[in-house]
A and B are shown apart, each in its own frame.
Chain A
């Protein structure tokens, strides 16, 4: 029986081992992904991102507990950064997830970024596919503590939660491009702390700026269809306005409301056709990445190490620009 078959049969050790092989991008890992691919596409992928210390791990812990009450099998992929110097990492997200121990309906896997900069590791998507094929209905993906531009999670997940806490930044942070834009649901965690009101207000005003129709909706109580909006969205489609939910992840307050918002988002994705659209975008990104890797490998195979070094010398001595050097190499390869 192949590793992939044992994973489908529900063997947890095989699952853990296949995840390692996928993470290390070994031939066995690649074969496993190919074998399992037909079984993927069923899980609801939920991304949880936000700055370091906002309580992502504790929130994931609570979300997992609540999904377990609905009898759903839950996998968690928790990403922490690798050291840029040693390549090592300390992965500490499990510390906040001790409530989940001893439950066979839960599988937690920690991973290091291994040099990726977008808040996830390169292998995260592959590992999520393995867990999806293994029959986990909800997969919670916790990114590294992300600052402003680590937005890869929005390409991977169906639903992206951006976690904020009171006391971080003001309303000018809230209108910058980047992480807040990718939120499907905004969470103000540690909402028992002072300043939760003003954080929620800043987020709300950001949303109003970003969604002109939403503001009218909120202030006048009915969904108007301004012409611009209609044109952009093809008429009958409903726009999703990211709701803001307050939580205290350490005691579970607000979690029921957050879960309702997540459920509402799933229904929205299915109704609007966005579920399939997001899926397609994700597969396209994944495919592009494979093409890049393959072309890179082919390019390297087509030129000797010495020739590439020579060209680098020429570039460093300013005899060619990088693009000229590439043109020359491509011609030689022909």
Chain B
């Protein structure tokens, strides 16, 4: 039996076209031994939830720089739950104002990373939550 690989969907919801951050994170997770499925730009919440289901991922990472996180994130969370994937951990990276952080966490987001967040921290957090989930 081979070990269970952590599978992560890295997605860019909404309309901003900057995915350098998402790619840096994808690369770092790869170097940490995870399998990262990258969706590309301009994904709708529906597309992200569908990909998360087909790929049976443990973690969804959303990269949002557009400011539309309060609209996009709850939609993704709802769709994941509706698909029976409520156990999937959702991480957010990007520009998120401090006052939105508690609201997003309350909705069920595991962690939020701003610009300059060390990738080691993201990796450690993913390991911690996915192991928790069993």
Contacts and interface: CB of A to CB of B under 8 A. Distances in A.
Contacts of B120: none
A294 to B, nearest CB: 14
Interface stretch (B23-31, B59-67, B89-97, B110-118): B23-31
Interface residues of A, number: 32
B56 A17 contact: yes
A146 interface: no
A108 B2 contact: no
Given A95-B38, A95-B39, A95-B40, A12 B53 contact: yes
Contact of B38 (A16, A25, A91, A112): A91
Contact of B33 (A13, A88, A107): A88
Contacts of B50: 101-102
A88 B3 CA distance: 12
A24 interface: yes
Interface in A47-92: 82-83, 85-92
Contacts of B2: 24-25, 114
B38 A12 contact: no
Interface in A102-154: 102, 107-110, 112, 114
A227 interface: no
Contacts of A95: 38-40
Interface residues of B, number: 33
Contacts of A98: 39-40, 43, 47
B36 A109 contact: no
B96 to A, nearest CB: 24
B30 A86 contact: yes
Given A90-B36, A98-B47, A16 B54 contact: yes
B40 A94 contact: yes
Nearest to B31: A86
Contacts of B43: 98
Which one of B30, B31, B36, B54 has the highest number of Cβ atoms from chain A below 10 Å of its Cβ?
A: B54
A20 interface: yes
Nearest to B19: A95
Contact of A86 (B33, B37, B44): B33
Contacts of B56: 16-17, 19-20
Contacts of A107: 54
A218 B29 CA distance: 53
Interface in B67-122: 83-85
A16 B55 contact: yes
Contacts of B26: 90
A34 to B, nearest CB: 16
B30 A110 contact: no
A235 interface: no
Given A83-B31, A110-B37, 5 more contacts: A13-B53, A19-B56, A24-B3, A95-B38, A101-B46
20 contacts: A16-B54, A17-B56, A20-B56, A24-B4, A25-B1, A82-B35, A86-B30, A86-B31, A88-B29, A88-B30, A90-B38, A92-B40, A94-B38, A94-B39, A95-B39, A96-B40, A107-B54, A110-B37, A110-B55, A112-B5
